[in-house]
């Protein structure tokens, strides 16, 4: 049985811990030229720091990413530092630059605030002799093999597949007829863009479903609440379904619907299967009708471990096939009838980390192995 309360306590504690981990003062970096491998010597654990950079700590997914990074550091016996970007590209970049200036070599996993942040971060890490894996967002034109070994890999779950999965679930729950609205993430985010594209692609099969509006709520539950309130006011008595690009925003959306007395009159779908959403899915006749499964702690530890393997000389990124350097990992479509098949992993995060590190193959760990190569292709139209 999935211990929601236990998991939520852990996630809350992680978020609070991350909030007090601050880094002051930024330093300038030199942009490094790209291409080729690296003759850099392997880095010993004592000379290395693992760094996990997340968009914010208000989003449960980000808190889960922090938990995964800290569990991996404990397993490897390596210091871990957390960057809370607080939703700001400038904060994200300056804090990473400050850590790079502290002296130890860095193995970084960064969930970039915006796709356009990735080149600056990658170049700074390369100039400092560190190693970086970017999760979720980068420009399609920025490829690891063009930069060199210090940009080890880009990793994500398919946004198009996520949007299609939840879009279909929403349309089917409405019997193929009705009005829906959408909540997107950060506008300059390829993850948000691909999920929205997948959602719209799924709706093409349902001509009697009308998409009234899509607005950005920036991966934030409070913005999910306020944006949904605005949409419900803009379209009174018209909204039958709400789609969101992630669960932080759908949590806000469900609260807005409750405040308006519409919670049981609207169907909801989203991405991430966060603990509060699992609670709602357990309700009789739950209005949460579709989800996807992937985990922040899995993503962060896969990314950070990949960077660690490169930093310590256990893998040579220049010899990896391209699908292991621009990677799509497996996600699953989830319904109220099968969610417990996936949440079971949350009962033993340390055990999952043990499995990850024992294999020394971050691309081949269930339930989220490598399934394809990026960049994703956004459906036409």
Q: What is the 3-state secondary structure (H, E, C) of 238-278?
A: CCCEEEECCHHHHHHHHHHHHHCCCHHHCEEECCCCCHHHH
Return the pLDDT at 37.
Answer: 52
In the block, tokens 């170049």 appear at: 123
The chain-wide mean pLDDT, for the chain, equals: 90
| pLDDT > 90 fraction of the chain, expressed in percent and rounded | 83
Domains 4-157+295-373 and 159-271 share a fold: yes
Return the pLDDT at 39.
Answer: 62
CA–CA gap between residue 327 and residue 332 (Å, rounded): 16
Q: pLDDT category, 235, cuts 50, 70, 90?
A: very high
Give me the residue spans of the domains in the chain: 4-157+295-373, 159-271
| Beta-bridge partners for 153 | 133
Burial class, 315, CB count within 10 angstroms (exposed 0-12 / middle 13-18 / buried 19+): buried
CA dist list (Å): 275 to 2, 193, 331:
9, 25, 17
What is the arithmetic mean of pLDDT over 182-194? 93
The matching CATH number, chosen from 3.40.50.2300, 1.20.1440.230, 3.40.50.10800, 3.65.10.10, for 159-271 is: 3.40.50.2300
The CATH number of the domain covering residues in 4-157+295-373: 3.40.50.2300
- Whether pLDDT at 277 is above 80: yes
CA dist list (Å): 11 to 16, 60, 99, 249:
9, 7, 24, 17
What is the arithmetic mean of pLDDT over 360-376? 96
Return the pLDDT at 380.
Answer: 81
Quickly list H helices, 148-244: 159-173, 190-203, 221-234
Lowest mean pLDDT segment, chosen from 29-38, 197-206, 230-239, 280-289: 29-38
CB contact set of 228 (below 8 Å; sequence gap of 6+) = 181, 183, 217, 242, 252, 253, 256, 257
- Whether pLDDT at 112 is above 80: yes
- Whether pLDDT at 356 is above 70: yes
| Beta-bridge partners for 214 | 182
Q: How many other CB atoms are there within 10 angstroms of residue 106's CB atom?
A: 23
- Whether pLDDT at 26 is above 60: no
301-354 confidence digits (pLDDT tens):
999 999 999 999 999 999 999 999 999 999 999 998 899 898 989 999 999 999
């Amino acid at each position: 049985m999935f211990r929601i309360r236990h998991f939520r306590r852990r996630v809350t504690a992680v978020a609070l811990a991350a909030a007090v981990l601050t880094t002051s003062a930024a330093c300038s970096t030199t942009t490094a030229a790209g291409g080729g491998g690296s003759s850099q010597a392997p880095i010993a654990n004592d000379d290395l720091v693992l760094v996990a950079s997340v968009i914010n700590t208000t989003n449960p997914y980000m808190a889960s990413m922090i938990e995964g990074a800290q569990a991996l550091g404990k397993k490897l016996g390596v210091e871990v530092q957390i960057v809370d970007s607080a939703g700001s590209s400038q904060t994200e970049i300056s804090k990473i630059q400050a850590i790079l200036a502290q002296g130890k070599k860095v193995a970084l996993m960064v969930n970039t605030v915006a796709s356009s942040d990735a080149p600056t971060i990658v170049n700074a890490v390369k100039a400092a002799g560190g190693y970086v894996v970017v999760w979720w967002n980068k420009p399609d034109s920025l490829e690891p093999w063009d930069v060199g070994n210090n940009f080890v890999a880009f990793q994500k779950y398919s946004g198009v597949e996520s949007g299609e999965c939840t879009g279909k679930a929403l349309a089917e729950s409405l019997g193929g007829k009705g009005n829906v609205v959408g909540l997107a993430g950060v506008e300059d985010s390829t993850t948000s863009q691909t999920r929205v594209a997948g959602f719209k692609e799924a709706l093409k099969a349902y001509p009697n479903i009308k998409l009234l509006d899509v607005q950005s709520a920036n991966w934030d539950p409070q913005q999910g609440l306020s944006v949904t309130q605005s949409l419900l006011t803009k379209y009174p008595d018209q909204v039958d379904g709400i789609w969101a690009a992630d669960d932080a925003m759908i949590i806000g959306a469900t609260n807005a619907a409750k405040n308006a007395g519409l919670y049981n009159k609207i169907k909801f779908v989203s991405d991430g299967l966060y603990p509060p959403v699992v609670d709602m899915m357990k309700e009789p006749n739950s209005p949460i009708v579709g989800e996807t499964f992937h985990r922040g702690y899995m993503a962060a530890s896969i990314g950070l471990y990949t960077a660690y393997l490169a930093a310590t000389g256990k893998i040579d990124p220049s010899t990896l096939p391209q699908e292991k350097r621009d990677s799509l990992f497996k996600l699953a479509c989830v319904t109220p009838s099968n969610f417990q098949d996936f949440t079971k992993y949350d009962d033993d995060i340390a055990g999952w980390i043990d499995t990850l590190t024992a294999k020394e193959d971050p691309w081949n760990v269930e339930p989220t192995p490598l399934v394809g190569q990026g960049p994703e292709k956004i459906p036409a139209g």
